[in-house]
Amino acid sequence: MIHYLTLKSRERTELIDITARVEELIAAAHTTSGCCDVFVLHTTAGITVNEGADPAVKRDISTCLDRLVPDAHYFTHAEGNSAAHVKASMIGVSQRLLIDKGKLLLGTWQALYLCEFDGPRERRVAVRICSAKLLQQEKH
């Protein structure tokens, strides 16, 4: 079964911690062990895992990506947000994570992020939780 998260970004570029939101879905599915696919349904946003402890890290990632991919005169996309499309492809649209003891299996400092590159906007993220038990239920 696929679940959907709806999030509102507030900045043009920002990383939004979605770890707790995904873990709420895992808890609601009563899944203790398995895996989880997290996929953003947009072309100017991405999904990544990085440090969740010091908020300076997510700001530095945003700043660095903005400097690596500035708005450029040679972009031809009429909507004018090619830099956001490029950054989304650099980061990627999805992550597969492991579930252990009912939580995402993450390192001490890791968090799961939606990366906004063309905000502020409303964003949708699809989450599919997989476990042996859930796969058995889907067969019936």
CA dist., res. 71 & res. 51, Å (int)? 27
By rule CB under 5 A, what string of x and - marks binding of each residue 7-46 to Zn ion?
Answer: ----------------------------------------
Q: Which is nearer to Zn ion, 45 or 47 (CB)?
A: 45
Q: Does 60 sit near Zn ion (CB under 5 A)?
A: no
Q: How far is the CB of 43 from Zn ion (least distance, A)?
A: 7
Count other Cβ atoms within 10 Å, centred on residue 92: 13
Q: How far is the CB of 76 from Zn ion (least distance, A)?
A: 11
Provide the CA 84 distance to its chain's centre, in angstroms: 15
Q: How far is the CB of 81 from Zn ion (least distance, A)?
A: 4
Assigned token pair, 131: 């476990």
Assigned token pair, 118: 């063309």
Q: Which is nearer to Zn ion, 29 or 84 (CB)?
A: 84
Contact 26, 99 (CB under 8 A): yes
Count other Cβ atoms within 10 Å, centred on residue 22: 22
Q: How far is the CB of 106 from Zn ion (least distance, A)?
A: 32
77-116 positions binding Zn ion, by CB under 5 A = 79, 81
CA dist., res. 93 & res. 79, Å (int)? 20
Q: Which is nearer to Zn ion, 60 or 79 (CB)?
A: 79
- Binding residues vs Zn ion (CB under 5 A): 79, 81
